[in-house]
Amino acid sequence: MDTQARIDQLIKDNKIMVFMKGNKLMPQCGFSNNVVQILNQLGVPFETFDVLADQEVRQGIKEYSNWPTIPQVYVNGEFLGGSDILIEMYQNNELQQML
């Protein structure tokens, strides 16, 4: 399976999918940690993919979304954005309503 197909399958298989540095138990950067903390605060189930463990996915997810940074959050198959966007959506209660 090629990288884009793998990414597509992960996004389809998980209601909330986060491509990040590290994982939900051990984020490896502050931005990834922000996303994990917000989702944990909301008490919603989510899956993560550690891009540090797979260079093909690390580059491929940037091409998939046409977004240059990690983390990247997908909900119901749609790209939401990264840490800053998630923080803003959380503060505006948009994220809570969506989830």
For the chain, the 3-state helix, strand and coil shares in percent, each to the nearest 5, are 55, 20, 25
> What local confidence, expressed as pLDDT, does residue 1 receive?
77
Mean pLDDT of 80-87: 96
Mean pLDDT of 1-30: 97
Going along the chain from its start, the domains and CATH numbers come out as: 3-98 (3.40.30.10)
Mean pLDDT of 88-96: 97
CA distances from 34 to 5, 44, 66 (A): 28, 15, 21
- State the chain's mean pLDDT as an integer: 97
- Read off the tokens for 57: 């996915």
pTM, two decimal places: 0.96
CA distances from 11 to 39, 91, 92 (A): 16, 25, 25
Mean pLDDT of 24-42: 97
> What local confidence, expressed as pLDDT, does residue 57 receive?
97
- Read off the tokens for 1: 């399976």
